[in-house]
Amino acid sequence: MSAAIEIVDLRKNYGDHHAVDGITLSIERGEIYAILGPNGAGKTTAVEILEGFRNRDGGTVSVLGSDPGALGVHGSAWRNRIGIVLQSVSDAGDLSVAETVQHFAHYYTNPKDPDSVIDMVGLTEKRDARVRTLSGGQRRRLDVALGIVGSPEILFLDEPTTGFDPEARRAFWELIRALKAEGTTIVLTTHYLDEAEALADQVAVINAGKIIEIATPATLGGRHLAEATISWIENDEIHKKLSKNPTHDVIEISARFNGDIPELTITRPSLEDIYLTMIEGQK
């Protein structure tokens, strides 16, 4: 099967500013693909081109085998196959949650059951509540419900867990994993690095309109090869050591103790550590 999304040398300019400056990437069907980058990096512009909301100035784009910028009369059939969760949405606040999801379900040829979708996003108890009465986190869950009710082949998620408490975020992650298990391709933009690490099969880091690196969360920036930091207490002092072979070094340290090494920790750089280093290096 062909990739769900193929981009080659994608470009978008605003005057002399190169918002997207030659991006090339491929997203496989059924993959969760995270796009990371600071504000103004170009990731939102790139995703809006994929969604068909913004024209490009150069390069080629294929989403589900079609060019989003050249669909014409076939655009509605293509849009029936994608779902989008934007950062903010305006809607009829006087409708109930159930009425809103049911209304959006009518736009699609193969929608999920609206009641099931409401349950999936954790809004069962708010089913009859007016949209305008929802909290920020509840409103965000409704946005997700509207994005998935059409049974999309590709789901675009733009900062989907903004306003979620930790428990709600973990529940949302399980929902995304369930959608992936159904075969949904998911494109995720997020500022939460733990979210990208928990969900993504591949990560692309974008800055100043260019891709810095594409890798798995575990290998981004050579993370899997980075030195570990060993920390322990000895002679009432905190000792730290960078190690390429922490197992060997811990055995060596333990030989000095009759028992456990006091307050021993072994850590490697987190995805956030690697990401911030990469972004800082691009300034």
- Shared domain for 215 and 252, answered yes or no, is no
Residue 61, judged by CB atoms within 10 A of its CB (0-12, 13-18, 19+), counts as buried
pLDDT above 70: percentage of residues in the chain? 95
CB 277 within 8 A of CB 249: no
- Shared domain for 140 and 230, answered yes or no, is no
- Shared domain for 243 and 205, answered yes or no, is no
pLDDT higher than threshold 90 for residue 280: no
Residue 171, judged by CB atoms within 10 A of its CB (0-12, 13-18, 19+), counts as middle
- CATH number of the domain where residue 153 is located: 3.40.50.300
pLDDT higher than threshold 70 for residue 74: no
CB 230 within 8 A of CB 250: yes
The whole-number pLDDT of residue 88 equals 61
Closest CA to 108 of 69, 84, 81, 126: 81
The whole-number pLDDT of residue 141 equals 86
pTM of the full structure? 0.85
Q: Which of 199, 221, 243 is the last residue of a domain?
A: 221
Q: Which of 170, 194, 221 is the last residue of a domain?
A: 221
Token readout for 136 is 């920020």
Gap between the Cα atoms of 208 and 33, Å rounded: 20
- Shared domain for 140 and 236, answered yes or no, is no
- What is the domain extent for residue 99? 5-221
pLDDT higher than threshold 70 for residue 259: yes
- Shared domain for 199 and 227, answered yes or no, is no
- Shared domain for 163 and 56, answered yes or no, is yes
- Shared domain for 211 and 226, answered yes or no, is no
Q: Which single residue is written with the structure tokens 């490009």?
A: 56
CA atoms 110, 114, 120, 122: torsion sign: positive
The whole-number pLDDT of residue 244 equals 86
- Shared domain for 76 and 147, answered yes or no, is yes
The whole-number pLDDT of residue 91 equals 62
pLDDT: which is higher, 201 or 279: 201
Q: In what order do the strands lie in the sheet with 237-243?
A: 237-243, 228-234, 265-267
Gap between the Cα atoms of 248 and 257, Å rounded: 15
pLDDT higher than threshold 70 for residue 283: no
CA atoms 139, 198, 156, 81: torsion sign: negative
- In tens, the pLDDT along 103-162 reads 999 999 999 999 999 998 889 999 999 999 988 788 888 988 999 999 999 999 988 887
Q: What's the total number of domains in the chain?
A: 2
- Shared domain for 12 and 144, answered yes or no, is yes
| pLDDT-derived band at 282, boundaries 50, 70, 90 | low
- Shared domain for 108 and 180, answered yes or no, is yes
Q: Which of 221, 254, 270 is the last residue of a domain?
A: 221
> How far, CA to CA in Å, does 281 sit from each of 169, 207, 221?
30, 10, 12
The whole-number pLDDT of residue 112 equals 94
- Shared domain for 119 and 198, answered yes or no, is yes
Question: Which SS3 state, helix, strand or coil, does residue 9 take?
Answer: strand
Q: Classify 228 in phi/psi space as left (phi over 0), alpha (psi -120 to 50) or beta.
A: beta
- Shared domain for 63 and 80, answered yes or no, is yes
